[in-house]
Amino acid sequence: MRFTPFLIILSLALPAAAGAVSPDTERAQLARLAAELAALAPLIDEAERHANPDARIRFQYDWLRQDLERVQQGIREHLQAPRAEPRQVPPLRGDYRR
């Protein structure tokens, strides 16, 4: 039974290690998210090309692009110079119908 203390310590340490978040992993995921947001641009362009120009209520594609750019900019700023303090972020429009 010499291994019992080792097994107990190992069983306690593994869940803690599994839950640990690596700053490098977070940065990689944020970079991936920024790339995915950039990949939306052609889809937005395609949807806009198919939009009915005579519709009474139209989707505001420019507003969507602006909001996505704000989100991407926030991610880029965080990746370039992470800050310990929160900063003011302009509000998103959120409502794309007019």
Residue 59, phi then psi, degrees to nearest 5: -75, 135
pLDDT at 4 over 70: no
Provide the pLDDT for residue 29. Answer: 94
Write down the residue that tokens 């998103």 correspond to: 92
Torsion angle defined by CA atoms of residues 53, 55, 57 and 62, in that order, rounded to the nearest 10 degrees: -10
Query: What was the pLDDT predicted at 22?
Result: 77
Phi–psi pair at 2, nearest 5 degrees:
-65, -25
Residue 60 to residue 51: CA distance in whole angstroms: 10
Longest dimension (CA), the chain: 80
Predicted pLDDT of residue 23: 76
Q: What is the pLDDT of residues 44-95, one digit of tens each?
A: 999 999 999 999 999 999 999 999 999 999 999 989 876 666 777 788 888 8
CA 87 vs. chain centroid, Å, equals 17
Domains of the chain, residue spans:
22-98
pTM score of the predicted model: 0.63
Lowest mean pLDDT among 14-23, 37-46, 81-90: 14-23
**pLDDT confidence tier of residue 13, bands split at 50, 70 and 90:** low
- pLDDT at residue 11, rounded to an integer: 60
